[in-house]
Structure 1
Amino acid sequence: MSTIEATQIRSYGHFIGGRSVPPSDTVVERVGPADGRVVATFTAGTRADAVDAIAVAREAFDEGEWPRWTAMDRGRALLRCAGLMRRDEERLARIDAEESGKPITLARGDVGASIELFEYAAALAMTMHGEAHTALGENCTAMVVREPAGVVGMIIPWNFPLLLLAQKLPFALGAGCTAVVKPAEVTSGTAVELARLLTEAGVPDGVVNVVTGAGSVVGAPLAESSLVDILSFTGSTETGKRIVEASAGSVKRLSMELGGKAASVVFDDADLDDALDGVLFGVFFNQGECCVSGARLLVQDSIADAFVARLVEAAGRITVGGPLDEASELGPMIDAGHLEKVLGHIDAARRDGATVLTGGARLEGENWGRGHFVAPTILDGVAAESAAFQEEIFGPVLTVTRFSDVDHAIRLANATEYGLAGSIWTKNIDKALRVAKEMRSGRVWVNTTIDGAPQLPAGGMKQSGFGREMGQAGFDEFTDVKTIQIRTGPRTRVFPNWTGGTR
């Protein structure tokens, strides 16, 4: 077992107008969730700090050069940033691992995926184009152009600090927008580091600004301000609803990726070895702190008992450890409050009649006693109407519910208010396509899970939000469509002669 040596405490202030703002005397202290050690401090921003950052981004868009750069030049800047991210890949991974608690191996994967997102967004930027309509008549030509939408506010959660920012920021920048980023209060390090790298890559001052601190303080102005044209938010459904209300006065465009309660549907004709690995990965990846986590196992009656027994056995082999332990496969919960919330969900499931097959408690002892660790947990006999089935737990907790046939599986898969993602395990392509089409989720995986590529858009249905990130659709979220119609010859349309002049 190899453990990376811990780094010194990092100290971050805001990044506004192309410069690092010295940390203030009032800071948020990030206590590592694995061992209680302080790993970083962040300026506890004020409302005035956020207002200042918005004003800088507004000026950079209205008066600055970035929206007026050629698409090729913006793409080249994003590629330069991707190269700098690759240069600093290990440092960025370590920052995210220490602040979020996720295993360093997962953090490295997040950084690698973030680099790919920058590279893909650069390609989209370089090929940004509109349409020409030349068959509207002899004397008419029209263009449909895509223009940068303006200032974009971005509110990022704590579970994937860099990756979820990379699903938004390079696409907005590639389109020519400017940005104000509000990272999660306790995982702000890589957002500030990325802003510095973008400046090093040649992105003009004021285009990317980062304000750290509490969402209720520095996030609120992003929703309320009429100087912000778009707000892109990833987080809980309840917070998303409050943002919708707060933004109503400014009539800004919103893109919201909210909560999820994804189902992993395993049919009796699946490759069960493959499905076993997929179900385990789907729920325990990133400690279950993942909005597309496959937290609900729906398994066909005929195979359920044997399949669940194998799941329980395999879950016991998962290595739980600290973020800098190279052998760690599952880390701690983000903080003590979230730990208690997850344990509360497990206790409530017991009261509702579920059986805890494995886990179900906080991990204690020499390796885990100072951290917020929950044992990988499997709950059997979970009814569709129970809270454990319906509510997002956001931890390493798998619920098990049995189904009889395809129709029953579809009803159960759609039986929550969420619609972010789902997985289907079967060798029957007709069955897979039917369930995929009827599953009310923005992403559906067949014989895989928590998978994707920069080219593929992601987003939710129902209470899981609206708007899309990544792919061409994610790029287009940050553009406005304008129609320009030009008369190129003698007028053929007859207007009323209200002026009394000669024709």
Structure 2
Amino acid sequence: MQEYRMLIGGEWVGAETGDWIESVNPFDGKAWARIPRAGPGDVRRAASEARRAFLDPSWSRLTASARGHLLMKLADLIAEHSDQLARLETTDNGKLINEMSSQLRYLPQWFRYFGGLADKIQGSVIPIDKPGVFNFTRHEPLGVIAAITPWNSPLLLAGWKLAPALAAGNTVVWKPSEFSSVSALAFARLFELVGFPRGVVNVVTGYGSEIGEALVSDPAIAKVAFTGGDQTGQRVYQTAASGIKPVTLELGGKSANIVFDDADLDNAIKGVVSGIFAASGQTCIAGSRALVQRSIYREFTRRLIEFAATAKIGNPLDTSTQVGPVTTRPQYDKVLSYIQIAKDEGAKCLLGGQTPQRPDLEDGWFVEPTIFGDVRPDMRIAQEEVFGPVLAVIAFEDEDDAIRIANDTIYGLAAGVWTKSMRRALLASEKLEAGTVWVNTYRAVSYMSPFGGYKRSGIGRESGIEAINEYLQTKSVWIDVNEPVPDPFVMR
């Protein structure tokens, strides 16, 4: 049993209570590591240390270029340790080693990109309409950022928050999911190796139900950046609002992958499979609804089933595996419950719908790739986020019908469009209520492009130039050179 400790104020510590949480490998259902079970006292200490570090000259007086250089060095270290970190993530959350390795090899780009932006944060001189007055703006860090990250892509999604937050000059208290904290604690050691001042990055581990509110409501926290489910996001938002704190929320989705009758069907089938069965459907951008034009519905569904049925289920550390386990036992139970709900509502199970009957998988939390046909847009399977390898296939008549069905949810994170028509592509990209629209591709992300949701899928944007503005505040500075001072009883 490997044992990991939290990073608070530059020290590696256990929880004040001495309590621990066992981390379980989703592949075999066995505990393999222990992480501290932090309490409110640990959170208060971490927030206090982060605030102290924010004000300390070793960080606050560091030039923007020097901050950027630290992030660049960190990027190099991440690349150097990417294989080790990927194996930790796969062991901890059960996602494919191929997927985790790809994410960890790409993650350094976020730190390089925002490291390069650190000294490009510029104010402006305003040609103010008042004679003898000089006015300019400064963009300054907010203070201590609470970064709360999920279990499905722990380090990648943490990087989306940490890189811009640190580039802007903030300090951080990072709370990873209790289901996937090991890689976060291993990752945190890299900040020490690079030479970040102590307390700039702090990591606390524990149950969200026990320390989440304490973290969000702590007076030292200036902003909350959260990725997770929309119900939890709502509670985070409400708690932050009581302290008038800004938030960035990247929440759930029920994304539509729309296949028109002029699409390249081979590519569209691969895109639909990628959208829902890659990562076992455990991604906020999962294309969990396949909207297929009625004229090709039968042919497309038949070919989709044939292709999806070839997916290899197995050990996520095996590079030939294509579908791994569900990360947590509660999520596993939830996915199976939604499969039953879909059957009860009259959807037709065309593929999967159960756990694989194999001795080598019986101890893990596996669900077969599952496809439902004859799905109505009002069914729960078409409206609610399952977060598992479960696809709802819905027929549509024409472009207007496709857009209406796609937009008819509380979510608006992403959408896919498969067509050879540029007109259709542009029309759909304009009318779809989603923060990201992919045309003839799916699950593509970049450190250069903003990411976020419409409606209940979130607030704010991550990645791209826009992201760094989420971690800055603007100050307006007025300098009056007039002599003498004008009438003090009249507003200038």
Query: TM-score, with normalisation over the residues of structure 2?
Result: 0.96
State the alpha-carbon separation in 2 of the partners of residues 10 and 456 from structure 1.
Answer: 38
1:270-419 equivalent positions in 2, closer than 5 A: 270-419=263-412
Q: C-alpha offsets along residues 369-400 of structure 1, whole Å, 9 cap, x if unaligned? A: 11010000110011111100000000001100
Q: Distance in 2 between matches of 1:38 and 1:240?
A: 28
2:82 to 55, 79, 89: 89
Determine the C-alpha separation between the residues in 2 that align with 1:312 and 1:488.
75
Give the CA deviation at 1:438.
1.0
Q: Which amino acid aligns with 2:274?
A: F
Q: Residue 215 of structure 1 aligns with which residue?
A: 208
Equivalent residue, structure 2, for 1:13: 5
Aligned with residue 191 of structure 1, among 164, 184, 188: 184
Distance 2:409 2:246 in 1: 26
1:413-448 deviations in Å (ceiling 9; x for gaps): 001100111111111111111111111111111111
47, 50, 54: which one aligns with 2:43:
50
Q: Which residue of 2 aligns with 1:3?
A: none
SS at match of 1:85: helix
CA distance in 1, matches of 2:135, 2:54: 26
Q: Which moved more, 1:107-116 or 1:227-236?
A: 107-116
Name the SS for the 2:221 alignment partner. coil
> Quick one: distance in 1 between partners of 2:314 and 2:358?
12
Cα deviation digits, residues 105-135 of structure 1 (max 9, x gap): 1110111221111111111113222212246
Return the match for 1:495 from 484, 487, 490. 487
2:99 counterpart residue number: 106
Is residue 2:117 matched to residue 1:124?
yes
- Please give the secondary structure, in 2, of the residue aligned with 1:293: coil
TM-superposed CA distance for 1:137, in Å, is 5.9
- Structure 1 equivalent of residue 243 of structure 2: 250
Contact persistence 1:419–1:441 (CA under 8 A): yes
**4+ residue runs over 6 A deviation:** none
In the alignment, the residues of structure 2 paired with residue 178 and residue 416 of structure 1 have an alpha-carbon distance, to the nearest angstrom, of 36
The amino acid that maps onto 2:428 is V
Counterpart CA distance in 1 for 2:87 and 2:160 is: 20
Q: Per-residue deviation at 1:100?
A: 0.4
Quick one: which amino acid aligns to residue 344 of structure 1? S
Aligned with 1:156 (options 127, 133, 149): 149
Deviation readout 1:34-63 (Å, 9 max, x if unpaired): 112322110111110011101101111123
Q: Deviations over 1:276-329 (max 9, x none)?
A: 111110111211000000000001011111011111000111111112111111
Equivalent-residue separation in structure 1 for 2:372 and 2:489 (angstroms): 78
Is the CA contact 1:226–1:252 (under 8 Å) kept in the aligned structure 2? no
In the TM superposition, residue 490 of structure 1 has moved relative to its aligned partner by 4.4
1:242: Cα distance to partner?
Answer: 1.2
Secondary structure of the residue that 1:372 maps to in structure 2?
coil
Distance in 2, matches of 1:305 and 1:368, equals 33
1:271 to partner: Cα distance? 1.7
Q: SS at the partner of 1:441?
A: coil
Name the SS of the counterpart of 2:324 in structure 1: coil
Are 1:384 and 1:401, in contact at CA under 8 Å, matched by a contact in 2? yes
From 455, 458, 476, give the equivalent of 1:483.
476
Aligned to 1:447: 440
- Kindly tell me: are residues 490 and 433 of structure 1, through their superposed partners in 2, closer, same or farther at Cα, counting changes over 3 Å? farther
Does the CA-based 8 Å contact 1:67-1:148 persist in structure 2?
no
1:366 is displaced (CA, Å) by 2.1
Partner of 2:34: 41
Deviation readout 1:156-208 (Å, 9 max, x if unpaired): 11001111101100110000000001100021112222221012111100000
Aligned mate of 1:426, from 419, 424, 428: 419
Separation in structure 2 between the aligned mates of residue 202 and residue 139 of structure 1, nearest angstrom = 46
CA distance in 1, matches of 2:57, 2:488: 43
- 1:167 counterpart SS class: helix
Partner of 1:237: 230
Q: Which moved more, 1:303-312 or 1:32-41?
A: 32-41
Decide whether aligned partners of structure 1 residues 270 and 495 sit closer, same or farther in structure 2, where only a CA change above 3 A counts.
farther
Whole-angstrom CA distance in 2 between matches of 1:94 and 1:496: 67
Instruction: Give the 3-state SS of the residue equivalent to 1:305 in structure 2.
Output: helix
Could you tell me whether the CA contact under 8 Å between 2:50 and 2:171 is conserved in 1? yes
Return the match for 2:221 from 228, 241, 264.
228
1:497/1:212 CA distance change after superposition, 3 Å: closer
CA distance in 1, matches of 2:11, 2:57: 16
Q: Note the C-alpha offset of 1:140.
A: 2.9
Q: For the Cα contact (< 8 Å) 1:28–1:186, is it kept in 2?
A: no
Partners of 2:249 and 2:383 in 1: CA distance: 20
Matched, 1:180 2:177: no
Q: Choose from 66, 70, 91 the match for 1:73.
A: 66
- Corresponding residue pairs, total: 489
Could you tell me which residue of structure 1 aligns to residue 164 of structure 2? 171
Kept in 1, the 8 Å contact 2:47–2:221? The answer is yes
Cα-Cα RMSD: 1.5
Q: Is the 8 A contact 2:249 2:459 kept in 1?
A: yes
- CA separation of 1:487 and 1:81: change in aligned 2, threshold 3 A: same
**Deviation (angstroms), 1:267:** 0.6
Supply the AA of the counterpart residue of 2:149.
I
Question: d(CA) in 2 for partners of 1:80 and 1:267?
Answer: 46
Q: Which amino acid aligns with 1:337?
A: P
Does the 8 A contact of 2:128 with 2:135 survive in 1? no
Q: How far is the alpha carbon of 1:103 from its aligned partner?
A: 1.1
